[in-house]
Amino acid sequence: DTGVSQNPRHKITKRGQNVTFRCDPISEHNRLYWYRQTLGQGPEFLTYFQNEAQLEKSRLLSDRFSAERPKGSFSTLEIQRTEQGDSAMYLCASSPSRFAGGYGYTFGSGTRLTVV
Amino acid sequence: TQLLEQSPQFLSIQEGENLTVYCNSSSVFSSLQWYRQEPGEGPVLLVTVVTGGEVKKLKRLTFQFGDARKDSSLHITAAQPGDTGLYLCAGPHEKRSQGNLIFGKGTKLSVKP
């Protein structure tokens, strides 16, 4: 297993465009998380999945954001009508459910989004 | 509101020096984790501490969890340039049914050769 994989690594888009990011978790991990990190801040929780079920969404996740995890494998995060304030590093992480909440996540390398 | 406050925010030292960074909260955490993050990469888990008063060592890094489980520290002995990075502490949300971790803002460490 090569760990958590995120694509693309970098994305530059014009304001108002839609973007989609993909995350492939560690295959035996059934929990998958999305976080956002801006400069000088720690990662902030966006949403998480247990298998294909989206169990929680942060208030940071506005109506322009949607995440899916069909079949409980890879996940996508879509941002519609991007705004400059969406510029950030989007991080995906996974964990086995029996370790959830207390024993650490494996993060991907992130997708750096720049909205111009 | 659960918050994790890390100090110092920035730290620049010479190779070979010792340092300690701190992670404090007014809330009790069932466990705390420490991650190191390099520029342009995701955080990498270093350690998880679970028991109040627990001390864990990882080569030159020593992690301590406070007796009351409200604070933690990371001590690095004889720092090396390879230790440079953003050190983040994180803990599980108080509502255990929620799967998210709360992160501090991190301590940005620079070790100069």
pLDDT tens track of chain A, all 116 residues?
Answer: 579 999 999 999 999 999 999 999 999 888 999 999 999 899 999 999 999 999 888 887 889 999 999 988 999 999 999 999 999 999 999 988 765 555 678 999 999 999 99
List helix spans (H) across chain B: none
Pairing mode, strands A10-13 and A111-115: parallel
pLDDT in tens, B73-97: 999 999 999 999 999 999 987 765 5
CB distance from B50 to chain A under 8 Å? yes
A interface residues, B as partner, C-beta within 8 Å: 4, 6, 31, 33, 35, 40-45, 48, 50, 55-56, 58, 91, 93, 100-110, 112
Model pLDDT, residue A2:
74
CA–CA separation, A42 vs B104, rounded Å?
6
CB atoms within 10 A of CB B82: 9
Block residue for tokens 């750096």: A112
Instruction: For residue B111, give both structure tokens.
Output: 């070790």
Q: Show residues of chain B in contact with A110, CB under 8 Å.
A: 40-42
Q: Show residues of chain A in contact with B105, CB under 8 Å.
A: 40-42
User: Vertex B31, ends B28 and B33: CA angle to 5°?
Assistant: 120
Tell me which residue in B45, B102, B106 faces A104 most closely, judged by beta carbons.
Answer: B45
What is the distance in angstroms between the CA of the first residue and the CA of the last residue of chain A?
36
For every residue of A6-30, DSSP letters joined together read EE-SEEEE-TT--EEEEEE--TT--
Model pLDDT, residue A11:
98
Residue B30 has pLDDT above 90, yes or no: no
Instruction: For residue B54, give both structure tokens.
Output: 């627990």
